[in-house]
């Protein structure tokens, strides 16, 4: 018997449980119409919430960046990979998140890993002096990082501030509380103002830090589109760490961490995910800054929210069960992986592509169709989606009154 003999067994088990993941080759994706194996689908599974990834100004900025700076950065940011385009993007982020400093990362996953490992695995404190607390539904990138530490890691019930307060009753010297601003699978929002109020009104020897993963809120939420912190309008020091990504509403790639100058200086020196990674290309940074400015000055956010309201209204009129999400993420909880997969396949047969999300990505019995809306969707697209959902759910025996299969 050779090493890793469990691999085939594990894969076969996933297949038998209707949980097997596989990739799809997309030949083209223009204006939320995607081509797969010669067939065309309305794309309701993209995180390009504003359609900025296809805007001509963003593409032209990318081309100019390539011409000026080349296709890559050539080195880590602490060697020779830090370009004026990176500085310009970081400066914009600081100005519009009300933070002193920022760092750019290759992905949100890398950024969340860097925060956890730098703060708690750099050898400056003992495990018993530290505590990480996150929302139960915090993103896997953060949970994976926090779980790998020697530091105690606790999770409070989703958006349950009473449970959070209980866990904070005896917090040690260095405590980090983490939550998503808009939750990636359910689309609901964290009560950030109430969380800030809890920290400000409680008597702590050492005030815990609050971190917000704003991957699905940047570009969408807030008066200026700068995310959950923009929406809750806290003072500079009330939310200590903001992480946001560029690969969703901003339409490019990469991520940032923003906070105090002291925090960013610390990460710059001790975050291995930053120090030992090649910097994102300067062309990407240039295009990202253009996209941010276009997001702030265009009507795309209003168009997105109009589409969200239209979709929810039409689903309500058809008895299609939705959650309370007011974001671009609109899940339909089916609670069964086989049913979810079958509904997804039925939708594809009707020319509609939606996310098919099953455990372990979400908790057991919360398998769902994850629909994501974009400013690029037209009213006729949303009508087609709702018609297809109604038919698919009926064909696969889903009973909207019991939120489960018809027995």
The pLDDT tens digits for 347-404 are: 999 999 999 999 999 999 999 999 999 999 999 999 999 999 999 999 999 876 555 5
Are residues 186 and 208 both part of a single domain? yes
Where are the extended beta strands (E) located within 335-374? 352-357, 368-372
Q: In which band, very low, low, confident or very high, does the pLDDT at 232 lie, cut at 50, 70 and 90?
A: low
Give the pLDDT confidence of 279-307 residue by residue, as tens digits. Answer: 999 999 999 999 999 999 999 999 999 99
Q: Tell me whether residue 139 is one of the annotated catalytic residues.
A: yes
What dihedral do alpha carbons 344, 346, 347, 348 form, nearest 10°? 90
Asked whether residue 335 is domain-assigned, the answer is: yes
| pLDDT (average), residues 185-197 | 95
Give the pLDDT confidence of 39-66 residue by residue, as tens digits. Answer: 999 999 999 999 999 999 999 999 999 9
229 closest CA partner among 246, 216, 212, 215: 212
Kindly report the average pLDDT of the chain as a whole number: 94
Asked whether residue 320 is domain-assigned, the answer is: yes
Are residues 109 and 186 both part of a single domain? yes
Are residues 225 and 105 both part of a single domain? yes
Give the pLDDT confidence of 237-253 residue by residue, as tens digits. Answer: 689 999 999 999 999 99
Q: Tell me whether residue 69 is one of the annotated catalytic residues.
A: no
Are residues 110 and 256 both part of a single domain? yes
Choosing from 46, 107, 141, 184, which is the catalytic residue? 184
Q: What is the largest CA-CA distance in the chain?
A: 64
Q: Which of 263, 297, 331 is the last residue of a domain?
A: 297
pLDDT at residue 32 in the model: 96
Q: Tell me whether residue 96 is one of the annotated catalytic residues.
A: no
Domain with residue 367: its CATH number is 3.90.1150.10
Are residues 162 and 230 both part of a single domain? yes
Asked whether residue 312 is domain-assigned, the answer is: yes
What dihedral do alpha carbons 222, 223, 224, 225 form, nearest 10°? 30
| pLDDT (average), residues 75-84 | 97
Q: Tell me whether residue 180 is one of the annotated catalytic residues.
A: yes
Q: Roughly how many angstroms between the first and final C-alpha of the chain, as a whole number?
A: 45
pLDDT at residue 404 in the model: 54
Structure tokens at 30: 């223009």
Q: Which of 264, 297, 330 is the last residue of a domain?
A: 297
Are residues 42 and 177 both part of a single domain? no
Are residues 290 and 318 both part of a single domain? no
Q: Tell me whether residue 76 is one of the annotated catalytic residues.
A: no
Cα 339 from Cα 405, distance rounded (Å): 8
Are residues 273 and 144 both part of a single domain? yes
Choosing from 139, 312, 314, 377, which is the catalytic residue? 139
| Sign of the alpha-carbon torsion through 192, 50, 250, 100 | negative
Asked whether residue 407 is domain-assigned, the answer is: no
Q: What domain range is 207 assigned to? A: 56-297
Cα 394 from Cα 343, distance rounded (Å): 9
Choosing from 47, 159, 291, 392, which is the catalytic residue? 47
pLDDT for residue 234 is more than 70:
no
pLDDT for residue 207 is more than 70:
yes
Q: Provide the CB-side half-sphere exposure for 277 (13 A, CA).
A: 19
Asked whether residue 230 is domain-assigned, the answer is: yes
Asked whether residue 3 is domain-assigned, the answer is: no
Asked whether residue 4 is domain-assigned, the answer is: no
Percent of the chain with pLDDT over 90: 89
Are residues 25 and 71 both part of a single domain? no
Are residues 319 and 240 both part of a single domain? no
Domain with residue 131: its CATH number is 3.40.640.10
Contacts of 170 (CB under 8 A, 6+ apart): none
Q: Which of 268, 297, 326 is the last residue of a domain?
A: 297
Choosing from 69, 99, 117, 248, which is the catalytic residue? 248
Q: Tell me whether residue 248 is one of the annotated catalytic residues.
A: yes
Q: In which band, very low, low, confident or very high, does the pLDDT at 406 lie, cut at 50, 70 and 90?
A: very low
Cα 133 from Cα 174, distance rounded (Å): 11
Asked whether residue 384 is domain-assigned, the answer is: yes
CA 371 centroid distance within chain: 14
Are residues 118 and 220 both part of a single domain? yes
Q: Tell me whether residue 213 is one of the annotated catalytic residues.
A: yes
Give the pLDDT confidence of 109-147 residue by residue, as tens digits. Answer: 999 999 999 999 988 999 999 999 999 999 999 999 999
pLDDT at residue 204 in the model: 86
Are residues 40 and 115 both part of a single domain? no
Choosing from 48, 85, 180, 381, which is the catalytic residue? 180
Choosing from 48, 186, 188, 213, which is the catalytic residue? 213
Choosing from 69, 216, 348, 377, which is the catalytic residue? 216
Q: How many distinct structural domains can be found in the chain?
A: 2
């Amino acid at each position: 018997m050779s090493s890793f003999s469990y691999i085939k067994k594990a894969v076969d088990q996933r297949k038998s449980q209707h949980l097997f993941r596989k990739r799809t080759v997309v030949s083209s994706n223009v204006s939320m119409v995607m081509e797969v194996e010669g067939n065309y689908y309305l794309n309701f599974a993209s995180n390009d919430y504003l359609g900025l990834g296809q805007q001509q100004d963003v593409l032209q900025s990318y081309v100019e960046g390539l011409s000026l700076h080349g296709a890559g950065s050539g080195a880590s940011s602490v060697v020779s990979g830090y370009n004026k385009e990176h500085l310009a993007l970081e400066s914009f982020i600081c100005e519009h998140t009300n933070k002193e400093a920022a760092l750019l990362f290759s992905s949100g996953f890398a950024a969340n890993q860097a925060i956890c490992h730098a703060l708690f695995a750099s050898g400056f404190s003992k495990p018993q002096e530290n505590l990480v607390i996150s929302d139960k539904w915090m993103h896997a990138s953060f949970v994976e990082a926090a779980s790998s530490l020697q530091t105690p890691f606790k999770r409070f019930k989703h958006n349950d501030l009473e449970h959070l307060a209980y866990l904070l009753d005896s917090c040690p010297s260095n405590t980090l509380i983490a939550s998503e601003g808009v939750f990636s699978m359910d689309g609901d929002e964290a009560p950030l103002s109430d969380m800030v109020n809890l920290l400000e009104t409680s008597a702590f020897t050492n005030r815990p830090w609050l971190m917000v993963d704003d991957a699905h809120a940047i570009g969408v939420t807030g008066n200026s589109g700068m995310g959950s912190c923009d929406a809750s309008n806290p003072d500079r020091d009330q939310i200590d760490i903001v992480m946001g990504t560029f690969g969703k509403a901003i339409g490019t790639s990469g991520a940032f961490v923003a906070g105090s100058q002291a925090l960013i200086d610390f990460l710059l020196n001790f975050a291995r995910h930053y120090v030992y990674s090649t910097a994102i290309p300067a062309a990407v940074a240039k295009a990202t800054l253009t996209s941010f400015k276009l997001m702030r000055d265009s009507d795309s956010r209003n168009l997105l929210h109009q589409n969200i309201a239209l979709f929810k209204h039409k689903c309500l009129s058809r008895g299609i069960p939705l959650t309370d999400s007011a974001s671009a993420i609109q899940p339909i909880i089916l609670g069964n992986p086989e049913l979810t997969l079958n509904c997804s396949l039925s939708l594809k047969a009707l020319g509609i592509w939606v996310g098919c999300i099953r455990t372990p990505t979400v908790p057991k019995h919360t398998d769902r169709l994850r629909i994501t809306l974009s400013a690029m969707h037209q009213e006729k697209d949303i009508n087609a989606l709702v018609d297809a959902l109604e038919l698919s759910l009926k064909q696969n025996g889903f009973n909207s009154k019991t939120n489960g299969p018809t027995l």
